[in-house]
Amino acid sequence: KERRAEVEAFIQKVRRQDKNQRTSDDYEKEGVFTGGYCINPLTGSRMPVYVANFVLMDYGTGAVMAVPTHDQRDFDFARKYDLPMVVVIEPEGQELSPEKMTEAWTGEGKLVNSDQFNGIDNESAKEKIADFLEQQNLGRKTINYRLRDWGVSRQRYWGTPIPVIYCEKCGTVPVPREQLPVVLPTDVELSGEGGSPLARHEAFYRTECPKCGAEARRETDTFDTFVESSWYFLRYACAGYAEAPVERDSVDYWLPVDQYIGGIEHAVMHLLYARFFTKVLRDLGFVGLDEPFENLLTQGMVCMETLSCPEHGWLYPEEVQDGKCCKCGSVAKTGRNEKMSKSKKNVIDPDTLISTYGADTARLFILFAAPPEKDLEWSDQAVEGCSRFLNRVWRAVYDNLDLVRQAVATEPVEGAARDLRRVTHRTIKKVTEDIDGRFHFNTAIAAVMELVNAVYGFDEKQKYPWVLREALETIVRLLAPFVPHVSEELWACLGNETTVEQQGWPAWDPEALVEDEITIVVQVNGKVRGKVSVAADADEEQVRETALASPNVSRFLEGVTVRKVIVIPGRLVNVVAN
């Protein structure tokens, strides 16, 4: 009773706070002690009861059991109000102390300080503790959905009109089906005054009630564009269909989407809404699929260092020369790499880049500089490097045109020619596997670069021109998805009458991949002492003799007795000696 006034005052204060903001991680955690205690049903210990601003009435029962050492919001709250903390989950091989913790441990681990549940991993313990509470009639399992109401209306012109009419007699009335769709007016005035422009367009909002015919007002808010983007992909399967939102047979044939590519900023909202819409349409019988997308790739951001000066703020790269601001001569400050943005002027004009290096160079750099899911740090030097590589490919083709244009395959090949064919087909295999489903474009391009190096090092092209042609055509075909313009030009120069895009994807020849020699690691008593090359078809005895004869290995065998030689075919030789 003595704390009631304080608690009531706190409740009134929290009611004025934004509900979504106060549940965010960076919002200040506040609370007030009620003066009451509750009993932990498992341990029997008394626990103080607080009213807190980050606990919501519409989630679960409206009351939560705080675990400060394993929930960051509870941790911040307990630290602020000097509440006791007990570690109940510890990671493998690490002992946690509440006094030394600077943040909550939210990872995996085994239970401690938990009586009969000690030693159980935390995921399994959740189920076991819930089962125990049910067995003891101390509680029951429930599912809490972390769903929030979604306000879908927006006070703007651009969006789908909400088909609702407001009548003083009939209240809220949906627009009849025969009057749909509600179409946006084309003569709206976009004044920038705030609020929806439709609310100032009398011809749009003044209408009649569909029920009683009295004067009524049309809803002037429009739907959030998320409402449209949440199911647009379904219409690709039936773009011309006008009888219903989607044509089920077509949607069920073509979908779900095999591969979805989008920014990480859409992962929480757009993709979540898309799943909701798909499942609702499934429940209503419009579609048969359960999930909209099978695979997701979230690409990284393009980043670049920022430039600024004290007088003019952010600077474009071209506004800095010799480390100084072109406008005032002040020394320009170089900042960290950040996502390219117009506001910070750390951007590159694509037109300038393309006019200098060509579109293929720009494309190659973006795909080669980093894996697609990682952030890409812009580098002028790396762009120049990609340009030099394409020039190198160009020269490799043009310098050998007379030799390879009429080349005809002859068998068999040996020596350097066999080696180049092996590299060629190994590259086909590598690039195919990197692209197909893995999206490792950077390593695929790196493999082609190695093949180009092998072409430049091939010294038997006069004897085996067809092997060189095979390698050059492979380079062009493998690069075609990355640099289509250069590839088409080189493909035509090689004498091909059809375009490179009409070719099938190259297939590797398993026989060409067979190694003449393989490298074997040699260990003495488990420690690597050398490597030896042996014929790929060498038997165990030949491998054993070659390993023991290796100078790097034999010096570690001086003065000792070899007890055993273990040969693991194709990989390893381990010499046991004492």
Of the ranges 159-173, 319-333, 392-406, 558-572, which one carries the lowest mean pLDDT score? 319-333
Question: 109 vs 191, which has greater pLDDT?
Answer: 109
DSSP at 435: H
**What's the pLDDT band for 407 if we cut at 50, 70, 90?**
confident
**What's the pLDDT band for 302 if we cut at 50, 70, 90?**
confident
Alpha helices in 484-574 (DSSP H): 484-493, 540-549, 551-554
Given this model, what pLDDT does residue 232 score?
94
Each residue's pLDDT tens digit, 343-353: 778 777 788 88
Q: Is the pLDDT of residue 182 over 90?
A: yes
The CATH code that applies to domain 517-577 is: 3.10.20.590
Query: For the residues 39-55, what does the mean pLDDT come to?
Result: 90
Given this model, what pLDDT does residue 310 score?
78
Question: 457 vs 516, which has greater pLDDT?
Answer: 457
Given this model, what pLDDT does residue 487 score?
97
Q: Is the pLDDT of residue 1 over 80?
A: no
Q: Is the pLDDT of residue 432 over 80?
A: yes
Q: Are 75 and 103 in contact (CB under 8 A)?
A: yes
Given this model, what pLDDT does residue 44 score?
86
Given this model, what pLDDT does residue 82 score?
93
Architecture of domain 4-135: Alpha-Beta Complex (3.90)
Q: Is the pLDDT of residue 479 over 90?
A: yes
Query: What gap in Å lies between CA 567 and CA 296, rounded to an integer?
Result: 44
Of the ranges 111-115, 434-438, 470-474, which one carries the lowest mean pLDDT score? 434-438
Q: What tokens were used for 420? A: 């180049």
Predicted TM-score (pTM) of the model is: 0.62
**What's the pLDDT band for 372 if we cut at 50, 70, 90?**
confident
Q: What percent of the chain has pLDDT over 90?
A: 52
Of the ranges 100-114, 325-339, 357-371, 482-496, which one carries the lowest mean pLDDT score? 325-339
Q: Is the pLDDT of residue 167 over 90?
A: yes
Query: For the residues 503-521, what does the mean pLDDT come to?
Result: 86
Question: 212 vs 316, which has greater pLDDT?
Answer: 212
Given this model, what pLDDT does residue 86 score?
93
Query: For the residues 56-72, what does the mean pLDDT come to?
Result: 85
Given this model, what pLDDT does residue 164 score?
97
**What's the pLDDT band for 571 if we cut at 50, 70, 90?**
confident
Nearest Cα residue to 405 out of 487, 490, 484, 504? 490
Query: What gap in Å lies between CA 439 and CA 457, rounded to an integer?
Result: 29
Structure-token match 């002992």, residue found: 95
Of the ranges 36-40, 504-508, 538-542, which one carries the lowest mean pLDDT score? 538-542
Q: Is the pLDDT of residue 146 over 80?
A: no
**What's the pLDDT band for 557 if we cut at 50, 70, 90?**
confident
Q: Is the pLDDT of residue 19 over 90?
A: no
Q: Is the pLDDT of residue 434 over 80?
A: yes
Phi and psi at residue 539, to the nearest 5°: -85, 175
Given this model, what pLDDT does residue 185 score?
95
Query: For the residues 424-438, what does the mean pLDDT come to?
Result: 93
Given this model, what pLDDT does residue 568 score?
87
Q: Is the pLDDT of residue 58 over 90?
A: no
**What's the pLDDT band for 532 if we cut at 50, 70, 90?**
confident
Query: For the residues 192-202, what does the mean pLDDT come to?
Result: 87
Which CATH superfamily hosts domain 380-513? Isoleucyl-tRNA Synthetase; Domain 1 (1.10.730.10)
How big is the CA angle at 517 (ends 513 and 519), to the nearest 5 degrees? Answer: 110
Each residue's pLDDT tens digit, 235-290: 999 999 988 889 999 999 999 999 998 877 777 788 989 999 999 999 999 999 99
Q: b or e along 68-99 (b: 16 or more beta carbons within 10 Å of the residue's beta carbon)?
A: bbbbebbbbbbbeeebebebbbbeeeeebeee
Each residue's pLDDT tens digit, 211-234: 999 999 999 999 998 898 999 999
Given this model, what pLDDT does residue 472 score?
97
Given this model, what pLDDT does residue 383 score?
92
Q: Is the pLDDT of residue 20 over 80?
A: no
Query: What gap in Å lies between CA 578 and CA 572, rounded to an integer?
Result: 20
Query: For the residues 80-99, what does the mean pLDDT come to?
Result: 92
Of the ranges 30-39, 104-113, 140-149, 513-522, which one carries the lowest mean pLDDT score? 140-149
Residues paired with 90 in a beta bridge: 110
Q: Are 417 and 462 in contact (CB under 8 A)?
A: no
Q: Are 506 and 538 in contact (CB under 8 A)?
A: no
Given this model, what pLDDT does residue 48 score?
94
Q: What tokens were used for 231? A: 């199911």
**What's the pLDDT band for 396 if we cut at 50, 70, 90?**
very high
Domain ranges of the chain: 4-135, 153-223, 226-299, 380-513, 517-577
**What's the pLDDT band for 130 if we cut at 50, 70, 90?**
very high
Query: What gap in Å lies between CA 424 and CA 159, rounded to an integer?
Result: 53
Q: Is the pLDDT of residue 145 over 80?
A: no
Neighbours of 480 (CB within 10 A): 20
As a whole number, the mean pLDDT across the chain is 89
Query: What gap in Å lies between CA 321 and CA 332, rounded to an integer?
Result: 9
Q: Are 54 and 14 in contact (CB under 8 A)?
A: no
Strands (E), 311-459: 313-315, 320-321, 324-325, 333-339, 376-377
